[in-house]
Amino acid sequence: MKLTSIFAHRGSKGNRPENTLAAFREALSLEIEGIELDVHMTKDKQLVVIHDETVDRTTNGKGFVKDLTLDEIKELDAGTWFSKEYEGEKIPTLSEVLELVKPSNFTLNIELKNDVFLYEGIEEAVLKEVESYSYIDNVILSSFNHYSIRKCLDLYPTLETGVLFMEGLYKPWEYAKYVGATSIHVYEPAAAYYVQMQEANSIPIRTFTVNKDESIEFFIRNHIDAIFTDYPEKALGIRSQIEREGNK
């Protein structure tokens, strides 16, 4: 039986402030396979781990990431919005996350958040950072910007990549192969149809963001390659129960 991999979406986002070292430490404490995170580029061309184009939602600051320097971003509190318990938590750099995860050999799914702002040179910068930690074999790069995925593959042809999309595309595995991507990363409502065809089309399908118990169970029982979830501990429990049942 193929084991469905579990990725902690933005770290353990359900019980920690997302995309922070606290969230990633929690994920690393679990017997799961991977962590998903998002990367933007600052005004001074530094790589920071945050989901939104602005710092407004997840910090006590205001403004676009692209308009702030790393020093300005490091002054912000990225934890209190979630809980007073995490006051003082910071937006991490990609380097800080790589330093944290390297001993674990977890798979790290790095989403390039360059579909709104293009962030010139982000592909080269991310690959250079990952290579500096000798972590390239443990990384998947994904993006809604499929031109960026193609560029990453031009720079590093053996890289594992995922094309992100929200829609129910016709034969997405053919499109992914046309781009050169090695996997499909699809929004949960569109994923149920594709799992029926993943074996025949021999391309990994990973789905986001799977949080409800019944959805987690559905995708695991149907052997999807991976799920991204805000609640990795819950998903791990459901997977373990299915394994104990022999997937009956």
Indicate which residues carry an active-site annotation.
9, 51
Max alpha carbon distance in the chain (Å)?
A: 54
Amino acid at 224: I
CA 8 to chain centroid = 8
Backbone angles phi, psi at 214, to 5 degrees: -65, -30
Listed in sequence order, the residues at least 6 apart from 157 whose beta carbon sits closer than 8 Å to its beta carbon are: none
Question: Which residues on adjacent β-strands are paired with residue 38?
Answer: 111
CA-wise closest residue to 172 among 142, 140, 203: 203
CA distance linking residue 43 with residue 64, whole number of Å: 9
Secondary structure class of 34 (helix, strand, coil): strand
